[in-house]
A and B are shown apart, each in its own frame.
Chain A
Amino acid sequence: MEAALRPYLATFSARFQLMLQYRAAALAGFATQCWWGGIHIMVFAAFFAGAGAAARSPISLAQVITYTWLAQGFLSLNPWSGDPDVAAKVRTGAVGYDRLRPVDAYDWWFVNAAAWMTARAAPRAALMFAMTAILFPLAGLSAWAWAPPADLAAALMFTVSMLLVVLLSSSIVMLINICVAATLTDRGVNSFVAPLAILFSGNLIPLPLFPDWARVALFVQPFAGVVDIPFRIYLGQITGWVAWAGLGVQVFWIVVLVGLGRLWMGRVMGRLQVQGG
């Protein structure tokens, strides 16, 4: 078992460490995300100050604020572009070299994608937490801070849900990667997926703020599982069986998208074998 996993574990840890080296990128990303988060929160504050908005909203301003800081802190886990390494390999034709490794091609790219995302998310989320969850309350800005989880159960479920986020996001990134390998460029698919991911994950507007008639559809689509479901669990905004259903939605999409990705990858790699890299 351990021997079977060794190539993937080693690849994950190498890529993770490599990505952690990019400190300037992490700081720049953090600064951008603070800026974005600040604007989001100001817009939502103005919205909630409007007549009757707060009374009719299914989610409070304080919850939206925490939701926003979480979304900005974990932005790198949002699958809105393919793995740039795959794009570079496709462009230079080095995909052939990947075919020379005695590993499952899908799994290998998958762990690369997971490492690429988590290594970028970890420092940014830590910085975001330090600033908005620790410094803000100390500075008397508790009203604008990243609040602690609703309760212990919410915290535990959130942890599980975040692990599922990594798998779900990687499975979506894999679909983008395979599309890049099939079309030989990352431009088209990235610009197509990015708005979908940002909008339907809840990153732009928390999904509870969408109209009632769209709620169920939004809850069961795959992008909800990368932002909305875990963060609402954290806030205690969904609890009990709805929260479990949320985890179920995440697992369902992981299974479906990984299955789809494997099938598609097999076809694309088969075609590469026929047509040349």
Chain B
Amino acid sequence: MPQILVEGLAKTYRVAEREPGAWGAVAGLFHRRWRTIEALKGVGFAMERGELVGLIGPNGAGKSTTIKILSGILRPSAGRCEVDGLVPWVQRVKHVARIGVVFGQRTQLWWDLPVIEGFDLLAAIYRVPPDRYRATRDQMVGLMRLERLLGQPVRQLSLGQRMRCEIAAAMLHDPSILFLDEPTIGLDAPSKLAVREFVATLNRERGVTVILTTHDMHDIEALARRVVVIGNGTILADSPYETLRAGVLAERRLHVDFAAEAPAIDIPGVEERARDGRALELAFDPAVVAVPALIARITADHAVEDIRVDEPAIEEVITRFYQLHGAEEA
């Protein structure tokens, strides 16, 4: 029995529309036109206890809507959803006591309260027994290295410091599931690394089930074994990260630095991607053109100083994937 079960989840909103300009504003007073937006059209997936899944997709794809339904904030228009045997939006109070949620763009701590007082208040709100709270808190403070931040009001923290506190705050009632909606948005590199390490530790050592949405593919690369790609309100792919990467883009890149001005290369199956003086970047499919054969041909014909093979950046992989499925932001 999976811990999270989602089937045929659909969500439609109605938004009021009006003609542009002053006349449109007046007309809107008398007659509203409504437009229906389908945020989700039949989303379904299942997750086992202790899994860590990355949920990715372009802006407006339905990631946040999915998280909001799973956490009980929104009620879907159709479909089924059970988390630990509870229907989130029906048994809301019981459900939310068992989950932790972090929205990267919002704060759940009290702006004017010192971090530690916010933690105490959350422990009271979740009715965590005092000794269990102290144990969990100390563990989180240690893991996230928050000792020096505890006495500071939240408004004085940097974004990276705050996000570390936010995730710790979401763990104080020892939830079995953690929803992270863009937890690394706007963070600098060290903070991102700290957040990733923390999430990985929670998942590995405490067995917390994690659903993570992000636009930073390095988060996915570092954390998620399994990736669910969502676009236009439907699931485009649900597979291990490596499969997704290999399937979408087997393409490799060859960077060559020539001794003289880069020549034109005319080999079937090889495309020129960029050139800059003596440097040349070539794209090829290793299934069509073998790497050793390609290098041999180029070095035989030209004087070469340096040569490197790499894979395209993950951002490129994912953009290509969205394009293939027509899932770019409308």
- Interface set of A (CB-CB < 8 Å, partner B): 3, 6-7, 9-11, 14, 18, 21, 92-94, 96-97, 99-104, 270, 273-277
Q: Are A6 and B73 in contact (CB under 8 A)?
A: no
Q: How many residues of B contact A (CB 8 A)?
A: 30
Smallest CB separation, A77 vs chain B (Å): 22
Q: Are A277 and B73 in contact (CB under 8 A)?
A: yes
B112: CB under 8 A from chain A?
yes
Q: Are B101 and A100 in contact (CB under 8 A)?
A: yes
Residue of A9, A21, A104, A276 near B93 (CB, 8 A) is A104
Smallest CB separation, A40 vs chain B (Å): 34
Smallest CB separation, B129 vs chain A (Å): 9
Cα-based distance from A92 to B111 in the complex (angstroms): 14
A-B contact count (CB 8 A): 71
Cα-based distance from A93 to B14 in the complex (angstroms): 18
Residue of B93, B99, B124 near A10 (CB, 8 A) is B124
Q: Are A18 and B13 in contact (CB under 8 A)?
A: no
Cα-based distance from A100 to B170 in the complex (angstroms): 11
Residues of B within 8 A of A100 (CB): 71-73, 96, 99, 101, 108
B110: CB under 8 A from chain A?
yes
Q: Are A10 and B108 in contact (CB under 8 A)?
A: no
Question: In terms of DSSP, what is the predominant structure of the interface of chain A?
Answer: helix
Cα-based distance from A99 to B72 in the complex (angstroms): 8
B206: CB under 8 A from chain A?
no
Q: Are B126 and A276 in contact (CB under 8 A)?
A: no
Q: Are A96 and B73 in contact (CB under 8 A)?
A: yes
Q: Are A273 and B74 in contact (CB under 8 A)?
A: yes
In the complex, 18 of the A-B residue pairs with CB atoms within 8 angstroms, ordered by the A residue number, are: A7-B126, A7-B127, A11-B124, A94-B106, A96-B68, A97-B103, A97-B106, A97-B108, A100-B71, A100-B73, A100-B96, A100-B99, A102-B93, A102-B97, A102-B126, A104-B93, A273-B75, A276-B68
Smallest CB separation, A2 vs chain B (Å): 10
Cα-based distance from A44 to B248 in the complex (angstroms): 83
Cα-based distance from A273 to B90 in the complex (angstroms): 11
Residues of B within 8 A of A92 (CB): 106
